[in-house]
Structure 1
Amino acid sequence: MSTLTFASVDDRAAGGKALRQRIPRSSQGGWRPLPDRRDPVEVLEEQAADRVPELVPIRYGRMLGSPFAFFRGAAALMAQDLAATPHSGLVVQLCGDAHLSNFGSFAAPDRRLVFSINDFDETLPGPFEWDVKRLAASFAVAGRDRGFSAKQRGAIIVSAVSAYRTTMRELAGKRRLDVWYARANIDKIEEEAASRIAPDEVKRMRRNIAKARAKDSVRAYSKMVEVVDGHPRLASRPPLVVPLRDLFPDIEQHRLEAAVDAILRSYRRSLQSAHRHLLGGFRFVETARKVGGVGSVGTRAWIVLMVGNDLFDPLFLQLKEAQPSVLERHLPRSAARNHGQRVVEGQRLMQPASDVLLGWVRSNGMDGATRDYYVRQLWDGKGSAMVDVMSAGSMVAYAEICGATLARAHARSGDAAEIGGYLGSGDKFDRALADFAEAYADQNEHDHAALRAAVDAGRVAAALA
C-alpha cells in the first residue's frame, strides 16, 4: 500500500506567500481605465439586446437613481475592468456580483435564518480578488451615497477586506467538513450587532429581521393574489407584474397551462428525488411575469403560484432567466450545459445551505426562442440590510459580516491556506483594496454620468417603475 502524502497548511500558505513576488499585494490598489476601455453605455446596450424590449427602459430608469443604483446594474462593466487588473491566479467559485446588497438572509432547510450571498446570476470560477474588489468598491459607492466622509468610508472598506482576510486565514487551519458547514446564523449576528450599534438601529434591525422571517409563500399569497369567483388569480400590476393570460391574450388558456406544466415537469427532473416528491404535492394555478431588482431587469422572470392541500397551502416559485455570466467574456466558459444549472451549482458550492427547491430548466418560449432558467422559492425568509439608512458605524459592522461571509463562501471551493498565505497577517492587502475601491467609485460616477448623458441625448430611453 502506498503512503499517503499531504501538503501541510504551512506549505500551502508558503506557496501563497511566494505569489507576492510576482503579484505584490500593493499592485492590487488603485484603478486607471485602459485607453481603449469600452463605452459604458455600449456595454449596457449590448446586454439589452437579448432582454425584453419594453422592460429595458425600466432598468435604465432604476440605474439612474443614484451612482449606487448604477453600480448594482453594472456588473458587466466592472467585469471588463477587473479583467485588466493584476491578480494572484488563486481561483475560487466567484459570485461574480458580490456587492453589499447581494448579501442577505434566507431560510435554511432547518428553517433557521442564515446570512449569506444571495445572488448567483454571474457565478463562475475565477480569481478570488474579483469578488473582494467588487465588494470593496460597493462599500465605497454606498458610503458616498450615504454622505460619509473619506475617512469613514476608508474604515468601512478596510473592515470588509480585513474580515475577509482574517476569516480566510482562520479557515485555513480547519477541517474540510468544518469549512463546508460554517455558516452565519441571523440570531448570532443579531446578538453581536446589538452590542455595537445604536439602540434605534438595533430596533430597526430587529424589525427588518422579523419582516424577513414573515416572508414566505403564505405572505406572498396575501400580497399577490386576488380571489375572483372563488378562484385565486395573480393580481395584474403592469408593467411589474403581468399574468401570462394578459401577456398572451390570443392564446387559449389550456395551451398556456400545458406549456407551463411541461416546464415544471422538466424542472422537477433537476431536483433530488425527495424534493421531487415534495413538489409533486402541489398543483399549478397560474403564472405571471414579475420585474424585480436592478441589473436583472429585462431578463425574463416569472412567478408561479401552486397550491397543496387547499388554497391556504400555497407555494410560490420564481423562474429566472439565466444568461451567460458577464465573466465569461474574460474567463473560461462554464462547463455546465445549461446556464440555469451553472447558477444552481455555483450557488450550492458557495452557500452553506440552499433552498431545497433550487433547480433549473431549459424552455422554449412563446416566441420560439430557447432559454435557460433557474428556479427557487420566491419568498423563503429572504431579507436584505437597510443600507440606505445605515450609520457609518453600522456599515462598519455590516462590512465585517459581508467580508467574513465572502471568505467562507470562497473557502468552500478554493484553498484557504494558499489564499490566506498570499493575503498575510498584516493590512497591506486591505489598504490596497481601499485605494482601489475609492478610485473605482470615481469611475462608477463617470459611468453613471455617461448613462445620464445618453438618456438626455435620446440615445437610450429610461422609465421609472
Structure 2
Amino acid sequence: MTGSRTAHLTPQERAARGRAARGFVPRSAHAEFTPQPDRADPVDVLEAQSAARVPELVPVRYARMLESPFRFYRGAASIMAGDLAGTPSTGIEAQLCGDAHLLNFRLLASPERHLMFDINDFDETLPGPWEWDVKRLAASLVIAGRNNGFAEAERATVVHGAVRAYREWTARFAGMRHLDVWYTKIEADDLYRALRDGGNRVLRTRTARALAKARTRDHLHAFEKLTHLVKGERRITPDPPLIVPVGDLLPDVERDQLEEQMRDLIERYGESLPSDRRALLDQFRLVDMARKVVGVGSVGTRCWIILMLGRDEQDPLLLQAKEAETSALSAYTGPSAYENQGERVVSGQRLMQATSDALLGWERAEGIDGRQRDFYVRQLHDWKGIAAADTMSPRGMRIFSQVCGATLARAHARSGDRIAIAAYLGRGDIFDRAVAKFAEAYADQNEDDFRALGRAARAGRVRTDAL
C-alpha cells in the first residue's frame, strides 16, 4: 500500500518503481496458471471453513455452491486465495476487496441518498497484491460467460474490456491529485449513460428498470417484506431455514440471553460510528431479531437481522449484524493490522468505496456458547441492486465489465501506488491479453473443483440437505 515508503516519493520515482517491476515480473507472465504440486484439496479447504460455522447451515452452503460452477466460484474465495499466492506478483500492494467477482459490483445508496455503483462485499478485504483482485474479477467473467453459453472469443472480449478499463482508468488516476482521486465516484446516472451509449434498446430498457427497482429497495420496502404483525406488535417473518426469528430458534432461557447480548452489541457498536450517526442510532429501540442466511460463501456464518423502531411503527430501521471471520487472504498476505475482524472489514470498505453506509460499524460479542465473535453491522437493503449475470448478452456483459474494471481501478487508486501500477501496466494490451489467458485457465480449474465437491457430496463426505 501507499505508505511512508512510497507516499512521498516523486511521481517520477514511483513510475520508475512500476517500470522496474517489469524486469522481474513481465506483464505476459500473468497469463500463467499452473496448480502448485502441493495444492490443497479444495473440499478440505471448504470443510476447514465450515468447521467454525453454524452446523445446520453448512449443507445450505454446499447445496448453493453445487448449483453451477459460477455459484461454486462465488463461495470459493478461500480456494482461489491459495492459488493466487502462487502466481507472479509485482510486489506493489493496494487494499484488496479479496472477492472481486462481478456480482460484488452493484448499486447501493450513499448517505446523501444518491444511487451509486461500487464494490459491495468486503468480507475478505486486506492489503495485498493488486493483481489478485483483477484476476478474480477476470475469472468470474469467464465463468459467468461459460454459464451463459458465450464462445471463447466472446469471453475474451468481455475480459479484455474489463482489464483495459482497469488499465486506462489507473493511468487516468495516476495523473490526478490525491483529493480528486478520493472524490471520484460512479453514480447510477453515469452507469446508465455508459450502457446507453454503448448498448442497444433492450439493454437500455433493462438498465432503466434496474435503476428504478433499486430505488424501491429501501428500508421501508424491506420492512414490509420481512416483517408482519403478531398480536399488534411488529415481528420478523419466519422463512426457515433462511430466516429464523430468535423466538423459534432457541429455548426461552437461551433466547433471553442471546437477546440481551445482541442489545449490548448494538449499543456498543454505536461507539464505532461518528458522533452524529451514533445520535441517530440512539433514537431507535430493538424490537425483534432473526438469524439470516446470506450469499453463497458466507452461508453458515452467524448473521442476524435486527428490527428497530423509532418514533412509531412507521419509523423502522433494519440492521444486519454479520460475523466477520479471518480473511481468506491472511494466510498468504499476513494477518490484519486490526485485531477485531469486524473493524478490518469496515476499515477496508471505507477505504475502497467512494461512499459507505451511514450506519456501517463493528463490535465484538459473546455468544451463548461463551465464545467471542467479531461482527460488522450495516443497514439491510438500502437501495441495493445486483446485476442479473445469467441473462446478460456478450455485449451487455462486456459493457458491464468495463464499468467494473473502472470501479476497481478507482478503489485501488485510493490506497495503492496508482502511479507505479499505471507505469507497470503501460499503454499496450500485453497485461490485458495475459489476464484473459489466466482467466480461461482458472475457469478450467474452477470446474475441476466444482466437480470435486460434487463427488464429495455423492460420496456422503459433505451434506447438502439442510435440517
**Normalising TM by the smaller chain, what interval?**
over 0.9
What is residue 366 of structure 2 aligned with on the other side? Answer: 364
Secondary structure of 1:333's aligned partner: coil
CA distance in 2, matches of 1:260, 1:26: 51
| Equivalent residues of 1:302, 1:319 under 8 A apart | yes
User: Structure 1 pair 43/6, CA: closer, same or farther in 2 (3 Å)?
Assistant: closer
User: Structure 1 pair 254/295, CA: closer, same or farther in 2 (3 Å)?
Assistant: closer
What is residue 214 of structure 1 aligned with on the other side? Answer: 216
Is 1:158 equivalent to 2:160 in the alignment?
yes
Q: Which residue of 117, 128, 143 corresponds with 1:115? A: 117
User: Structure 1 pair 416/258, CA: closer, same or farther in 2 (3 Å)?
Assistant: same
User: Structure 1 pair 464/254, CA: closer, same or farther in 2 (3 Å)?
Assistant: closer
Post-superposition Cα deviations, 1:435-465, rounded to whole Å, max 9, x if no partner, equal 0000000000000000001001111111379
Q: Which residue of 279, 282, 306 corresponds with 2:281? A: 279
What is residue 171 of structure 1 aligned with on the other side? Answer: 173
Is 1:249 equivalent to 2:251 in the alignment?
yes
1:227 is displaced (CA, Å) by 0.3
Q: Which residue of 379, 398, 409 corresponds with 1:377? A: 379
| Equivalent residues of 1:9, 1:173 under 8 A apart | no
What residue identity is the alignment partner of 2:120? Answer: N
| Equivalent residues of 2:32, 2:87 under 8 A apart | no
Post-superposition Cα deviations, 1:347-392, rounded to whole Å, max 9, x if no partner, equal 0010110011000010001121110000000111111111110000
CA distance in 2, matches of 1:322, 1:255: 21
CA distance in 2, matches of 1:22, 1:71: 30
What is residue 264 of structure 1 aligned with on the other side? Answer: 266
What residue identity is the alignment partner of 2:14? Answer: R
Post-superposition Cα deviations, 1:146-196, rounded to whole Å, max 9, x if no partner, equal 100000000000111110010001000101000011110011111221122
What is residue 431 of structure 1 aligned with on the other side? Answer: 433
Counterparts of 1:196-235 in structure 2, within 5 Å, are 196-235=198-237
| Equivalent residues of 1:62, 1:464 under 8 A apart | no
Secondary structure of 1:126's aligned partner: strand
Counterparts of 1:18-57 in structure 2, within 5 Å, are 18-57=20-59
What is residue 4 of structure 2 aligned with on the other side? Answer: none
CA distance in 1, matches of 2:430, 2:125: 28
Secondary structure of 1:330's aligned partner: helix
What is residue 462 of structure 2 aligned with on the other side? Answer: 460
Give runs of ≥4 in structure 1 deviating > 6 Å: none
Q: Which residue of 188, 191, 194 corresponds with 1:192? A: 194
What is residue 3 of structure 2 aligned with on the other side? Answer: none
Is 1:183 equivalent to 2:185 in the alignment?
yes
Secondary structure of 2:272's aligned partner: coil
Aligned length: 461
TM-score, normalised relative to structure 2: 0.97
User: Structure 1 pair 6/291, CA: closer, same or farther in 2 (3 Å)?
Assistant: closer
What residue identity is the alignment partner of 1:285? Answer: V
Secondary structure of 1:184's aligned partner: coil
What residue identity is the alignment partner of 1:398? Answer: F
What is residue 140 of structure 2 aligned with on the other side? Answer: 138
Identity of aligned residues (%): 54
Post-superposition Cα deviations, 1:208-236, rounded to whole Å, max 9, x if no partner, equal 21111111111111101110111001111
Post-superposition Cα deviations, 1:278-327, rounded to whole Å, max 9, x if no partner, equal 00111110000000110000001001000111101100000000000000
Counterparts of 1:318-397 in structure 2, within 5 Å, are 318-397=320-399
Q: Which residue of 12, 15, 21 corresponds with 1:13? A: 15
1:258 is displaced (CA, Å) by 2.4
| Equivalent residues of 2:57, 2:466 under 8 A apart | no
Post-superposition Cα deviations, 1:402-450, rounded to whole Å, max 9, x if no partner, equal 0000000000001111000001110000000000000000000000000
1:269 is displaced (CA, Å) by 0.9
What is residue 83 of structure 2 aligned with on the other side? Answer: 81
CA distance in 1, matches of 2:86, 2:340: 28
CA distance in 1, matches of 2:350, 2:465: 36
What residue identity is the alignment partner of 1:259? Answer: Q
Is 1:294 equivalent to 2:296 in the alignment?
yes
1:259 is displaced (CA, Å) by 2.2
Secondary structure of 2:347's aligned partner: helix
Secondary structure of 2:416's aligned partner: coil
Post-superposition Cα deviations, 1:229-267, rounded to whole Å, max 9, x if no partner, equal 110011111100001111112327654442221111111
1:10 is displaced (CA, Å) by 3.4
Q: What is the root-mean-square deviation of aligned Cα atoms in Å?
A: 1.3
CA distance in 2, matches of 1:189, 1:161: 18
Secondary structure of 1:289's aligned partner: strand
Secondary structure of 1:232's aligned partner: strand
| Equivalent residues of 2:56, 2:466 under 8 A apart | no
What residue identity is the alignment partner of 2:92? Answer: L
Structure 2 gap ranges (5+): 1-6
CA distance in 2, matches of 1:254, 1:39: 42
Secondary structure of 1:335's aligned partner: coil
Counterparts of 1:412-451 in structure 2, within 5 Å, are 412-451=414-453
User: Structure 1 pair 7/409, CA: closer, same or farther in 2 (3 Å)?
Assistant: same
What residue identity is the alignment partner of 1:232? Answer: R
Secondary structure of 1:92's aligned partner: strand
CA distance in 2, matches of 1:342, 1:252: 30
1:202 is displaced (CA, Å) by 1.9
| Equivalent residues of 2:238, 2:245 under 8 A apart | yes
CA distance in 1, matches of 2:257, 2:376: 23
1:341 is displaced (CA, Å) by 0.2
CA distance in 2, matches of 1:232, 1:7: 58
CA distance in 1, matches of 2:230, 2:124: 40
CA distance in 1, matches of 2:148, 2:394: 8
| Equivalent residues of 1:91, 1:414 under 8 A apart | yes
User: Structure 1 pair 256/296, CA: closer, same or farther in 2 (3 Å)?
Assistant: closer
CA distance in 2, matches of 1:180, 1:341: 21
Secondary structure of 1:413's aligned partner: coil
TM-score, normalised relative to structure 1: 0.97
CA distance in 1, matches of 2:379, 2:216: 14
User: Structure 1 pair 455/8, CA: closer, same or farther in 2 (3 Å)?
Assistant: same
